[in-house]
Amino acid sequence: MRIIQLIQKPQLRGAEIFACQLSNHLNNKHEVLVVTIFKGDAKLPFNGNIQHLNRPLGKRFFDLEGWKEFNTIIKKFQPDIIQANAADTLKFAVSSKIVYSWKVPIVFRNANKMGDFINSKIKFYLNKFYLKKISYVISVSKECQKDFEKTFKWPSNNITTVEIGVEEKTYGEIPSDLDFIYKKGRVLCHIGGFAPEKNHLGLLNIFGKVKAQFPDLQLLLIGKGRLEDEVREEVKNLKLDDCVHFLGYRNDVLEILSSSQIFVLPSLIEGLPAVILESMYCETPVVAYNVGGIREVVISGETGWLVTKNDEEGFVESLLEILTNQSKIKKRVSQAKLMVSKNFMNKVIADKFLDCYKYVSKQT
């Protein structure tokens, strides 16, 4: 089978990383081409062929030249399936298909709870229009699937859930350039782009309250985004400059997670982020808000600490419980790693995606 994985741009964010990891597994027995739409500077973790369109972001809504170039790639590669992986990929793929009338079925990877982002009639009808041109939806969690079906009145026979996965790999020790941070005290780690839904300002409030009881506590922020300057300014205002560390994108996430005391995710909107599963794989305790599909893997009392959305005091209490009661940690992190090892390894997840592709091919 010949498969095109269409992604936003070369960046080390969840959707792009997983699409590349998935492609590595699929590429063992099939032929996969990864296509990026916009310019980016990250080295993607895909061992096969990557084609960069390098389209300007200013043309994300109307790009005849880009759609034509994608059509040329399709004619040359002759894919059986095109998977559009979140962000602008749906709009881009469908627009090219409409203008140039190619027939390859599009599978949309629904990586988030889309209903939370549809806040106007224009957004709703635009997405509804694009979705009419695709063949199938693969959702990242059952909660996101339910939301998708409800939001767009989507037929249940044209959507399924295949969760995100993690890579089976060993991880090393504390990265040498971060060693000085870990020597300062215990470390909380957050991974996510600086966007409103990631709730960095709320995280700083939570961190400040916990730090009042644990003065040596450190916070690592991994990622980039348009709100980074605003978050940096708030760190200065709260006088947390010496203990909040901005790391940008990293290629050694597992080493950082495994060396951290807690992974924190107070997001306001999520699908099912791989960073939670990676933390569990590293046997690092997870504290997260109950949004999107997170509750499908973070089960309070069993695999992690799940907190009601926007309950900052509850989040603080969970962090304090972990920091002061080590006996509760071992059982939960062991159960979490077992769950991930049994159900969320990419080698198995890739076969589920392939089954979906075969189903779509038969239908068309």
Q: What is the pLDDT of residues 76-108, one digit of tens each?
A: 999 999 999 988 999 999 999 999 999 999 999
The CATH H-level (homologous superfamily) assignment of domain 176-343 is: Glycogen Phosphorylase B; (3.40.50.2000)
Question: What's the fold here for domain 2-165+345-363?
Answer: Rossmann fold (3.40.50)
Instruction: Select from 236, 242, 194, 234 the least CA-distant residue to 215.
Output: 242
What whole-number distance in Å separates Cα of residue 275 and Cα of residue 126?
30
Contact 19, 89 (CB under 8 A): no
Other CB atoms within 10 Å distance of the CB of residue 224: 17
Range 249-252, long-range pairs (CB < 8 A, 24+ positions): 249/11, 249/12, 249/42, 249/222, 249/223, 249/224, 250/12, 250/175, 250/222, 251/12, 251/43, 252/172, 252/175
Question: Quick one: the chain helix, strand, coil %, rounded to 5?
Answer: 45, 20, 35
Chain position carrying tokens 């009881």: 213
pLDDT of residue 195: 96
SS3 85: strand
How big is the chain, counted in residues?
364
Contact 321, 304 (CB under 8 A): no
pLDDT of residue 135: 98
Q: What is the pLDDT of residues 137-174, one digit of tens each?
A: 999 999 999 999 999 999 999 999 999 999 998 888 99
pLDDT of residue 172: 87
pLDDT of residue 106: 99
Residue 65 CA: distances (Å) to CA of 56, 95, 326, 328: 11, 11, 58, 57
pLDDT of residue 230: 98
pLDDT of residue 87: 87
DSSP state of 105: P
pLDDT of residue 204: 98
pLDDT of residue 133: 96
pLDDT of residue 363: 87
Residues of the chain with pLDDT under 70: none
pLDDT of residue 105: 98
Instruction: Break the chain into its structural domains and give their ranges.
Output: 2-165+345-363, 176-343
Threshold 0.75, pTM exceeds = yes
Instruction: Select from 65, 57, 27 the least CA-distant residue to 40.
Output: 57
Q: What is the pLDDT of residues 326-341, one digit of tens each?
A: 777 999 999 999 999 9
- Cα angle 165, 171, 177 (rounded to 5 degrees) comes to 120
The answer to whether 2-165+345-363 and 176-343 have equal CATH topology is yes
Paired tokens of 209: 């309250």
